[in-house]
């Protein structure tokens, strides 16, 4: 006979246990949202935890079940208060970025009526190799006058001075997910996973936001992560993608740090995915975004 699963909202005294299970997501977002714990039997054995945080009409959550207690219904029980709370708050969508095996994720999430939205593939290359591919394309576009004369590239430090962080965060959140307040903190360098402000670039054309490339230096053996490469939908075209990458490759090489490059691409951004393959990049990992429509 399976043990009874008890799910309850965490008290301040429970947060240490929740952090031990949830790790980074709870540490990132603090306890501004809600946190739940799942226990088995007499309530002394913690089997899993979940947290929920919201922004406007959408919400994200994170859920983790301890390994010995997986495939025992703990995840399904933790989902229930999350959906109920979302309904009470008038949230329209729940979203979850899943980084484990797709088959396991699909079985669990689709069993609780979550639908796959898109996949994010992490590619690996080198900055030197990428620049060798991009530079001739850039030269060709420049020769044909495909790149407007009045474009401007600024980094996050200058963008903050000009008051552009909020609009930049909204564009990234709209295209790649994430919460704008959290993204702004990362752009300001105020978090452990902050972007490298000098090497994160924003492309402007007549003061309009065209493209963003947000990067951070991981460490010597891991290299650079270009975490977000976003082009304004009104300016989707070859030149913007090539231009911001070419500038970023050149400025990043000048830092003298690692040549290794990792970058994330949504699979439904066909032009960007195709361009990434042209760089000779190799796919090394996948993350899957699932969504649940809370309101009919």
Please write the tens of the pLDDT for every residue from 135-152: 999 999 999 988 888 899
Residue 162 pLDDT class (50, 70, 90 cuts) = very high
The mean pLDDT value for 204-233 works out to 86
pLDDT given at position 228: 81
Please say if the pLDDT value at position 31 is more than 50. no
Pairing type for strands 34-40 and 5-9 reads antiparallel
Please say if the pLDDT value at position 114 is more than 60. yes
- Fold classification of 5-91 is Aminopeptidase (3.40.630)
Residue 280 pLDDT class (50, 70, 90 cuts) = confident
Residue 264 pLDDT class (50, 70, 90 cuts) = confident
41-45, 77-81, 103-107, 163-167 — which is least confidently predicted? 103-107
**For residues 184 and 195, what is the distance between their CA atoms, to the nearest angstrom?**
10
CB 119 within 8 A of CB 286: yes
Residue 1 pLDDT class (50, 70, 90 cuts) = very low
121-287 and 5-91 share a CATH fold: yes
Please say if the pLDDT value at position 213 is more than 90. yes
pLDDT given at position 224: 93
pLDDT given at position 138: 92
**For residues 252 and 269, what is the distance between their CA atoms, to the nearest angstrom?**
24
**For residues 18 and 176, what is the distance between their CA atoms, to the nearest angstrom?**
27
Beta-carbon count within 10 A of 259 CB? 15
**For residues 106 and 174, what is the distance between their CA atoms, to the nearest angstrom?**
24
The mean pLDDT value for 6-29 works out to 73
The mean pLDDT value for 220-241 works out to 80
Helix (H) or strand (E) holding 107: helix 102-111
Q: What CATH architecture does domain 121-287 belong to?
A: 3-Layer(aba) Sandwich (3.40)
Average pLDDT, the chain: 81
Residue 101 pLDDT class (50, 70, 90 cuts) = low
What's the pTM? 0.73
Higher pLDDT: 187 or 179? It is 187
pLDDT given at position 289: 79
The mean pLDDT value for 263-276 works out to 73
Higher pLDDT: 178 or 85? It is 85
Please say if the pLDDT value at position 232 is more than 50. yes
What percent of the chain is modeled with pLDDT above 90? 24
Following DSSP, what letter does each residue of 6-55 receive, concatenated? EEEEPPGGGHHHHHHHH-HHHHHHTTSSEEEEEEETTTTEEEEEEEEEEE
Please say if the pLDDT value at position 106 is more than 70. no
Please say if the pLDDT value at position 15 is more than 50. yes
The mean pLDDT value for 87-109 works out to 70
Please say if the pLDDT value at position 64 is more than 50. yes
pLDDT given at position 42: 65
Give the position of tokens 């799942």: 38
Query: For the chain, which residues make up each domain, given as ranges?
Result: 5-91, 121-287
**For residues 85 and 294, what is the distance between their CA atoms, to the nearest angstrom?**
10
Residue 251 pLDDT class (50, 70, 90 cuts) = very high
Instruction: Render pLDDT for 189-203 as a digit per residue (tens, 0 to 9).
Output: 998 889 999 999 999
């Amino acid at each position: 006979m399976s043990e009874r699963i008890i799910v309850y909202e965490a008290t301040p005294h429970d947060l240490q246990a929740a952090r031990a299970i949830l790790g980074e997501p709870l540490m990132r977002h603090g306890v501004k949202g809600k946190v739940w714990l799942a226990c088995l039997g007499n309530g002394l054995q913690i089997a899993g935890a979940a947290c929920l945080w919201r922004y406007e009409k959408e919400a994200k959550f994170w859920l983790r079940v301890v390994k010995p207690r997986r495939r025992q219904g703990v995840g399904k029980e933790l989902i229930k208060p999350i959906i109920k709370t979302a309904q009470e708050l008038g949230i329209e969508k729940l979203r979850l970025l899943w980084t484990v095996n797709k088959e396991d994720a699909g079985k669990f999430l689709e069993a609780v009526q979550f639908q796959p939205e898109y996949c994010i593939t992490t590619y690996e290359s080198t900055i030197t190799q990428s620049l060798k591919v991009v530079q001739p394309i850039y030269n060709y576009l420049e020769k044909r006058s495909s790149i407007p004369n009045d474009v401007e590239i600024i980094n996050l430090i200058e963008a903050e001075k000009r008051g552009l962080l909020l609009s930049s965060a909204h564009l990234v959140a709209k295209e790649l997910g994430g919460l704008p307040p959290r993204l702004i903190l990362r752009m300001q360098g105020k978090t452990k996973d902050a972007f490298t402000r000098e090497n994160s670039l924003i492309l402007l054309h007549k003061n309009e936001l065209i493209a963003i490339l947000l990067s951070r230096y991981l460490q010597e053996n891991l290299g650079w992560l270009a975490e977000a490469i976003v082009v304004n939908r009104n300016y989707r075209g070859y030149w913007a993608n090539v231009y911001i990458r070419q500038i970023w490759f050149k400025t990043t090489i000048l830092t003298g740090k690692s040549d290794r490059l990792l970058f994330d691409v949504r699979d439904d951004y066909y032009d960007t995915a195709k361009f990434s393959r042209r760089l000779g990049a190799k796919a090394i990992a996948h993350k899957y975004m699932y969504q649940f429509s809370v309101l009919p």
